[in-house]
């Protein structure tokens, strides 16, 4: 191929992928507008589409020649298997990302500004895609998924925190709470900062989104809002649930730690979506806290109108005793986070809970 023919081929390629990316973004934008009624997401998508349009120069369009395109009109059976709007949106996100990667690779030699813009938009779309996935989850979807969850993973600060959560999600966990209490240490051994909390919560939220799992933040309503979490888990000394509900809105989840039947009744009256009950056993994650034992769990199993999770030193060895009270759901920390094989530990617990 002569240099002039190669240059013409590259221009055709750039034109085709600019068209592909802009069309895909328009599909996403219209769903944000008419399907989700989210003007903020419309604005973000429109901005990406307009930025690409400004780089779609006339010499690329003039290189277009569909009559000689061997792949024009080529389809794939998978395109007929997207009955749900969310599948259409996901497919178009992937389509745009692929087109942007082509623009980035082939644009470097002929149009560095286009290549740089394509890279920036691709990374922006990664975040937008997660927000689209989260927006598609209505309050009903969240609460339905909560009802189905039997195993609840609560994180513990650790250099391998992200890897442990990912392994547990791949093994089947669908409810994760990020917890990093005051006094916790970061990977460097220094006291954890809010900047690191935000970074960790954002990474875990994205992992949960990719696996269709619920993601909650312990205590910190500000961080939950910042990362668009599915909700918060509140201790007895945290913000009242009514205040949290005003800030979170009706679609997100609120959980509450309880240690006695009176606290369970109050959580129900406050409109909480679920409660934690414990600690069932003494545990180093709650130093100095007297365990409530199994009697309270047995009472809750008989009286709780909302989902409840027994928590506190529960593992595969003592799970049967907890289940004997009537409890169907448990929350764990060390049983997964300190396991040599977190995925295997997760699978074992899920199998026992089934």
Q: Hey, what are 226's tokens? A: 């910042």
Which of 150, 197, 286, 329 is catalytic? The answer is: 286
Q: Is 46 assigned a catalytic role?
A: no
Q: Hey, what are 10's tokens? A: 């590259």
Secondary structure class of 291 (helix, strand, coil): coil
Which of 135, 156, 257, 304 is catalytic? The answer is: 257
Q: Is 257 assigned a catalytic role?
A: yes
Q: How far is residue 172's CA from residue 255's CA, in Å, rounded to a whole number? A: 21
Among 168, 203, 178, 175, smallest CA distance to 337 is for 168
Which of 179, 202, 220, 329 is catalytic? The answer is: 179
CA distances for 6 relative to 3, 19, 58, 60, angstroms: 5, 20, 18, 13
Looking from the CA of 311 toward its CB, the CA atoms found within 13 Å total 25
Q: What is the DSSP letter of 316?
A: T
CA distances for 39 relative to 33, 35, 45, 85, angstroms: 6, 11, 10, 18
Q: Is 181 assigned a catalytic role?
A: no
Active site residues: 179, 257, 286
């Amino acid at each position: 191929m002569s240099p002039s023919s190669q240059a013409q081929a590259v221009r055709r390629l750039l034109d085709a992928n600019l068209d592909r990316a802009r069309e895909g973004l328009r599909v996403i934008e219209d769903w944000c507008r008419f399907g989700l009624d989210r003007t903020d997401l419309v604005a973000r998508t429109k901005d990406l589409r307009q930025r690409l349009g400004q780089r779609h120069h006339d010499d690329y369009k003039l290189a277009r020649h569909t009559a000689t395109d061997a792949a024009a009109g080529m389809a794939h059976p998978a395109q007929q298997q997207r009955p749900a709007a969310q599948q259409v949106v996901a497919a178009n996100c992937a389509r745009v990302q692929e087109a942007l990667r082509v623009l980035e690779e082939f644009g470097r030699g002929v149009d560095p500004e286009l290549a740089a813009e394509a890279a920036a938009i691709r990374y922006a779309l990664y975040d937008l895609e997660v927000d689209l996935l989260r927006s598609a989850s209505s309050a009903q979807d969240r609460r339905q998924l909560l009802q189905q969850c039997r195993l609840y993973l609560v994180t513990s600060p650790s250099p391998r925190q992200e890897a442990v959560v990912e392994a547990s999600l791949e093994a089947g966990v669908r409810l994760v709470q990020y917890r990093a209490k005051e006094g916790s240490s970061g990977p460097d051994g220094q006291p954890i900062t809010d900047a690191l909390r935000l970074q960790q919560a954002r990474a875990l939220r994205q992992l949960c989104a990719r696996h269709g799992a619920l993601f909650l933040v312990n205590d910190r309503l500000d961080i939950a809002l910042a990362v668009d979490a599915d909700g918060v888990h509140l201790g007895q000394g945290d913000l009242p649930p009514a205040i949290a509900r005003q800030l979170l809105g009706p679609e997100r989840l609120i959980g509450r730690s309880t240690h006695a039947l009176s606290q369970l009744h109050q959580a129900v009256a406050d409109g909480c979506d679920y409660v934690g009950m414990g600690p069932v056993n003494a545990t180093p994650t709650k130093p100095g806290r007297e365990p409530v034992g199994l009697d309270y769990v047995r009472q809750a199993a008989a009286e709780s109108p909302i989902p409840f999770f027994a928590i506190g030193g529960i593992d595969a060895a003592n799970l049967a005793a907890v289940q004997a009270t009537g409890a169907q759901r448990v929350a764990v920390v060390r049983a997964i986070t300190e396991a040599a094989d977190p995925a295997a530990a997760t699978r074992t617990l899920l199998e026992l809970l089934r």
